[in-house]
């Protein structure tokens, strides 16, 4: 048990200072567990942030290219038949940004954990918007195929279908990459068994 007054422990029975006085002083924190838990929190959030940035950058690049192609290929048809799809596409393109997180410290860990949750939520909302866009594009293609019977129109519809398929493939690639990153996160995540050591 540590003495209440560390200076008493630094003096030998003869009244002279002990040579190992520094080793007898109690540590700043008698319980190392809080620091251990904080280290785990920081390490886990750093891993999540790294994977989020990696997957988000890949997703944004793919979505930007696919959405630009969709707007280009569908052109005026979307303006006439599904203006809400154009609005969604521009909304998504306007929201595409590269997430960068600051260095984690004791002072900002709580704030950054909350911000990361908000970033994940925003990303999910963005993907849901893309899925709604896909359904709208399918409906436009179906209507065009029913109305347009000329060979030239069929060729236009084929290009629209390819652009739509490209958007779907972009999302599929994103999903696979995020699944791979999630697996890496589970493998590399620090265990909690050593927290109480």
Nearest 5°: CA angle at 86, between 83 and 89? 155
Note the pTM of the prediction, 2 decimals.
Answer: 0.58
Residue-wise pLDDT for 97-123, tens only, equals 666 788 888 889 999 999 999 988 888
CA distance 197 to 180: 32
How far is Cα 116 from Cα 96, in angstroms, rounded to an integer? 16
Q: What is the mean pLDDT of residues 135-145?
A: 79
């Amino acid at each position: 048990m540590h003495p209440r007054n560390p200076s008493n422990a630094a003096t030998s029975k003869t009244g002279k200072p002990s040579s190992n006085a520094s080793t007898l002083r109690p540590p700043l924190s008698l319980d190392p567990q809080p620091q251990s838990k904080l280290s785990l929190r920081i390490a886990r959030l750093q891993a999540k942030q790294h994977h989020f940035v990696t997957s988000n950058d890949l997703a944004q690049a793919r979505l930007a290219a696919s959405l630009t192609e969709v707007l280009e290929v569908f052109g005026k048809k979307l303006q006439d038949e599904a203006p809400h799809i154009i609005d969604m596409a521009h909304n998504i393109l306007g929201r595409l940004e590269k997430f960068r997180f600051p260095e984690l410290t004791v002072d900002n860990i709580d704030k950054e954990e909350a911000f990361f949750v908000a970033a994940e939520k925003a990303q999910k909302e963005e993907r849901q918007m893309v899925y709604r866009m896909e359904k709208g594009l399918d409906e436009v293609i179906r209507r065009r195929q029913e109305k347009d019977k000329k060979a030239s129109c069929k060729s236009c519809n084929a290009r629209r279908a390819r652009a739509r398929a490209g958007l779907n493939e972009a999302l599929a690639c994103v999903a696979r990459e995020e699944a791979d990153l999630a697996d890496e996160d589970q493998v590399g995540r620090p265990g909690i068994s050593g927290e109480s050591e």
